[in-house]
Amino acid sequence: MRDWRRHLHRHPEFGFEEQETARFVVERLRAFGIDEIETGIGGTGIVATLRKGDGGRTLALRADMDCLRMQETTNLPYASSRPGLMHACGHDGHTTILLGTAAVLASEGGFDGTVRLVFQPAEEWGQGMKAMIRDGLGSRLAFDEIYGLHNKPGLPVGSFETRPGAFMGAEDGFSIVVRGRGGHASRPQDCRDAIVCACAIVGELQTIVSRRIDPAELAVVSVTGIEGDNIKNAIASEARIEGDCRHFNDDVSHQLEAALRQVAQGLAAAHGCEVEIQYERVFVPLVNDPAATEHGLNAAATVFGAEHVDGDAPRMGASEDFAQALKVAPGAFFNIGNGDSAPLHSPEYDFNDAALVPGVEWFVELVRNRLPVGQSGA
Active-site positions? 66, 123
Rounded alpha-carbon distances, angstroms, from residue 113 to 85, 180, 183, 325, 369? 39, 63, 70, 20, 11
Task: Fill in the amino acid letter for 226.
Answer: I
Query: Any residues with CB less than 8 A from the CB of 87 and at least 6 apart, and which?
Result: 8, 9, 12, 67, 68, 80, 93, 351
Distance CA 289, CA 270 (A): 48
254 is in an annotated binding site: no
CB 331 within 8 A of CB 325: yes
3-state secondary structure of 156: coil
245 is in an annotated binding site: no
Query: Any residues with CB less than 8 A from the CB of 140 and at least 6 apart, and which?
Result: none
Distance CA 270, CA 85 (A): 42
89 is in an annotated binding site: yes
Strands ordered across the beta sheet of 58-64: 37-41, 45-52, 113-120, 58-64, 145-152, 331-337, 160-161, 309-310
Query: Any residues with CB less than 8 A from the CB of 335 and at least 6 apart, and which?
Result: 149, 150, 151, 152, 155, 160, 161, 162, 313
| DSSP-assigned letter for residue 196 | H
Look at residues 68, 65, 62, 86 and name the one whose alpha carbon lies nearest to residue 76.
Answer: 86
345 is in an annotated binding site: yes
Residue 42: which region, alpha, beta or left (left: phi > 0; alpha: psi -120 to 50)?
A: left
CB 361 within 8 A of CB 336: no
Q: What is the dihedral of CA 198, 203, 206, 212, to 10 degrees?
A: -80
91 is in an annotated binding site: yes
Binding-site annotation, residues: 89, 91, 124, 150, 345
Binding-site annotation, residues for Mn(2+): 89, 91, 124, 150, 345
